[in-house]
Amino acid sequence: MAGLLQQGMGQPAQPQPGGTPPPLPAPQGQSSPQPEPQQQPAPGDRDPRVDMDPEQGPQQRQALVGAMLEPLYGERRDQVLAMLEQQADQPAEAIGRVVSRLMVTAWRALSEQGRTVPPGVMFQAGMVAAQAVGEIAVNMGVLPEQGNAEPIEGGFLLAMGRFGEATAEQMPPEQRQRYGELIRAMQQARQQAGPQGGQPPRQPAAPRGPQPSAQQPAARPGGA
């Protein structure tokens, strides 16, 4: 798989024999599109609810990825396979549903413990989960082995929209604002990158629900 998710997070997750979770991908350290803003606030100005700590961020992300992939390759695997099969004609929608549930479950588990993670950490962990779900879809034949970046990235953006709707009432406004910034940054990066894998470009998934269909010519009075 190739695309912005892979460039931002390193190599995609690879399933291991026996259904065990794959090793966590490591960032490549190359100058590629990153969803997290590059400018870091001074230590005294950093808000732990919003700003990712450069030292603790990778450990937080790794813990979140593990919390998401464990049910994906374990107790929820059959459910995930069924969802991907049922919506094989809409793989981005299926990926979005699966990833959003993983993200919401992890976010609520932290909230119940009185804990939180910066949006950039959750955003990156969701990227890894989307790659893992996309790899499952490839193994099922729902997605092709090549040219699958568009539905996986589209599914991730759909997942972010569902995640935002499910957590809107409990999430602080500062975090909602940062999630919006990250989503817009990724949408802009997709537009700049253009079509991927030889597929025609699609509108990035909006976090506020489905977009209206293409405008149709207005009907003239008295019929066609």
Q: Is residue 202's pLDDT more than 80?
A: no
Q: What is the pLDDT of residues 189-201, one digit of tens each?
A: 888 877 654 444 4
Helices (H), the chain: 4-9, 57-72, 77-86, 91-112, 119-140, 149-167, 173-193
Q: What is the mean pLDDT of residues 123-143?
A: 96
How many CB atoms lie under 10 A from the CB of residue 206? Answer: 14
The structural domains of the chain, with segments of one domain joined by +, span: 56-193
Highest mean pLDDT pick, 45-49, 58-62, 116-120, 158-162: 158-162
Helices (H), 28-88: 57-72, 77-86
* pLDDT value at residue 49: 63
pTM of the complete model: 0.69
Q: Is residue 216's pLDDT more than 60?
A: no
pLDDT band at 15 (very low <50, low <70, confident <90, very high): very low
Q: Is residue 23's pLDDT more than 90?
A: no
pLDDT band at 112 (very low <50, low <70, confident <90, very high): very high
Q: Is residue 22's pLDDT more than 50?
A: no
Q: What is the pLDDT of residues 42-55, one digit of tens each?
A: 545 566 667 777 78
Q: Do 90 and 142 form a contact (C-beta atoms < 8 A)?
A: no
More confident site: 31 or 52: 52
How many CB atoms lie under 10 A from the CB of residue 192? Answer: 9
More confident site: 86 or 12: 86
> What token pair was written down for 67?
């919390």
pLDDT band at 156 (very low <50, low <70, confident <90, very high): very high
CA-CA distance, 190 to 207, in Å (whole number)?
A: 15
| Half-sphere exposure (Cβ direction) of 44: Cα atoms closer than 13 Å | 0
* pLDDT value at residue 192: 86
Q: Mean pLDDT score of the chain, rounded to an integer? A: 76
